[in-house]
Structure formats: structure tokens, C-alpha cells
């Protein structure tokens, strides 16, 4: 089962920003190397004027807070799922 379809992670990002699109990124970053070992996913935050990977990149604090809460929620759900499987 992929990380996107796992019940433990999907509600995390859907609840935070239900209007957020599900993206397939060509960026890969480190996930291309980890994907052979484990499921991977990337969490994107909107950048002002769409600028990323540049010194002018900027995200709003509120968007950063949503991203942190989403990640923490996903980690907590995965840990609880692991405990349930034991």
C-alpha cells in the first residue's frame, strides 16, 4: 500500500487543506533513493509567487504551521498503526 493511500497518512493532509491538490512531482529529491527501501512522500507548502529553490523563496508562517502539524499528525498515526499491528 502506498503512503498516499494508507489510512494513517491520508487524513493528515486532507484535513489540513482539503482543497490541496494531490501532486506527482518530478523533483524527487532524496525520495528517489529511499523509494526502493520504503514508501515515500513529500509535503509541499505554497511559496510566494511560486518561487522555490531560490534565495527569494518564502512561505507564510501559517502555511509552515499547517505543514508541521500535518507531518506530526502523520507520524503519530503511523506510530499508532505500528502499535496496533503488534
Domain-embedded: residue 39: yes
69: Cβ contacts below 8 Å, ≥ 6 apart: 16
Other beta carbons less than 10 A from residue 40's beta carbon? 16
3 located within any domain:
no
- Does the residue 77 lie in any domain? yes
pLDDT in tens, 53-82: 899 999 999 989 988 988 888 888 888 876
Number of compact structural domains in the chain: 1
Tell me the chain's radius of gyration from C-alpha atoms: 14
Instruction: Determine the structural domain holding residue 52 and report its residue range.
Output: 10-17+26-85
Show the cell assigned to 66. 499547517
Mean of per-residue pLDDT scores for the chain:
77
Q: Write down the pLDDT at residue 60.
A: 94
Q: What is the pLDDT of residues 19-48, one digit of tens each?
A: 777 666 666 677 788 888 887 777 888 899
| pLDDT computed for residue 17 by the predictor | 66
**30 falls within a domain:** yes
3-class SS string, the chain: CCCCCCCCCHHHHHHHCCCCCCCCCCCCCCHHHHCCCCCCCCCCCCCHHHCCCCCCCCCCHHHHHHHHHHHHHHHHHHHHHHHHHC
Amino acid at each position: 500500500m502506498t503512503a498516499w493511500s494508507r489510512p494513517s497518512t491520508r487524513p493528515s493532509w486532507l484535513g489540513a487543506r482539503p482543497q490541496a491538490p494531490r501532486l506527482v512531482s518530478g523533483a524527487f529529491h532524496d525520495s528517489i533513493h529511499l523509494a526502493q527501501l520504503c514508501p515515500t512522500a513529500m509535503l509541499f507548502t505554497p511559496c510566494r509567487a511560486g518561487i522555490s529553490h531560490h534565495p527569494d523563496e518564502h512561505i507564510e508562517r501559517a502555511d509552515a504551521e499547517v505543514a508541521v502539524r500535518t507531518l506530526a499528525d502523520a507520524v503519530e498515526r503511523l506510530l499508532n498503526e505500528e502499535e496496533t499491528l503488534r
